[in-house]
Amino acid sequence: MTETVAADRTGRADATRLIQRGAIEWVIAALLALLLMRFLWSLARNENLLPGEVVHHLLHPDVLAGVWLTIRLTALVFAMASAIGLVVIRMERSGNPLLGGIAAAYVWVFGSIPVLVQLLLWSNIALVFPDITFAIPGVHIDAMRLVTPVHAAIAGLALALGAYAARALQDDDRLTASGDILVTTLQATSLVSVLSITDLLGVVQALEERNHLIIPLLTVAAIWYLVMVTAARGAIHLARLARGRGQAHSR
């Protein structure tokens, strides 16, 4: 009897704590919602943002061209980085100590040096190797002409993100890992603007120099990156749903 009363009191105490915690969470949520609404309202009324210029430049031909280049760079680098990652995983699991050591060294080096530094190194590779010979007699390739800013960007991003892919793709859920690699690649492409490449951010920076609409144009870039990243995550989510339905039907 005593144990039953004690258990009943404990149950009521737990329920009371849950109710109190729920009430506190609702109060915090309401405060956060009010702050968010206040922030959005201040943005809408802020004349410095120039919402008309934001809307005008969202579909500007140069901006759309930059978006398209960003998408193409993302697709190419994603494919290359994923392929590199799979090869590195295969080398690590081969059981060969030399291959495993090379794979570990690659992940250590390219996974440690910041991507921006790697892009700058590749763009200036001709200063180290002005002629590329591949150790073949009679072969002399002018590195200055061969390694264009776009080629340097692709090589730098693919090698850097290949190290990331080599770790991410070891996850059992490779579809989710691929989604993470895709989003990371898309975000990393913004770094190529330092090489004067006219991707989305590069175009925005060029337009800023002409019309000095810094905040509106950066807002345009932010909106487009939100759209592209959301679309990429949505596509991965749909692929996961399709895979789940396929597995359910196969059972």
Sign for the CA dihedral angle at 190, 154, 164, 182 comes to positive
- DSSP code of residue 111: T
- DSSP code of residue 131: E
* pLDDT exceeds 50 at position 5: no
* pLDDT exceeds 70 at position 189: yes
Most confident of 48-62, 87-101, 132-146: 87-101
Per-residue confidence (pLDDT) for residue 134, from 0 to 100: 62
User: Six-digit token pair at 199?
Assistant: 């991707």
Exposed e or buried b for every residue in 44-67, given b needs 16+ CB within 10 A?
eeeeeebeebbeebbeeeebeebb
Measured distance CA(135)–CA(153) in Å, rounded = 25
Helix (H, G, I), strand (E, B) or coil at 9: helix
Q: What would the mean pLDDT of 8-28 be, rounded to a whole number?
A: 69
Predicted model pTM: 0.81
* pLDDT exceeds 70 at position 10: no
Show the beta-strand stretches assigned E in the chain. Answer: 131-132, 141-142
* pLDDT exceeds 70 at position 18: no
Exposed e or buried b for every residue in 118-143, given b needs 16+ CB within 10 A?
bbeebbebbeeeeeeeeeeeeeeeee
Q: For the purposes of burial, counting CB atoms within 10 Å of the CB of 117, is it exposed (0-12), middle (13-18) or buried (19 or more)?
A: exposed
Show me where the domains of the chain are located.
1-44, 60-244
Would you tell me how many other CB atoms lie within 10 Å of the CB of residue 186? 22
* pLDDT exceeds 70 at position 166: yes
Query: For residues 152 and 125, is the Cβ–Cβ distance under 8 A?
Result: yes
205-214, 219-228, 241-250: lowest mean pLDDT where? 241-250
pLDDT digits (tens, 9 = 90+) for 105-158: 999 999 999 999 999 999 988 888 777 666 667 666 667 777 888 999 999 999
- CATH code at 60-244: 1.10.3720.10
| Cβ partners under 8 Å of residue 3, min gap 6 | none
- In percent, the amount of the chain with pLDDT more than 70 equals 85
User: Six-digit token pair at 54?
Assistant: 């934001």
85-94, 173-182, 220-229: lowest mean pLDDT where? 173-182
* pLDDT exceeds 60 at position 88: yes
Sign for the CA dihedral angle at 61, 62, 67, 70 comes to positive
In angstroms, the Cα distances linking 98 to 52, 93, 102, 171 are 60, 11, 6, 24
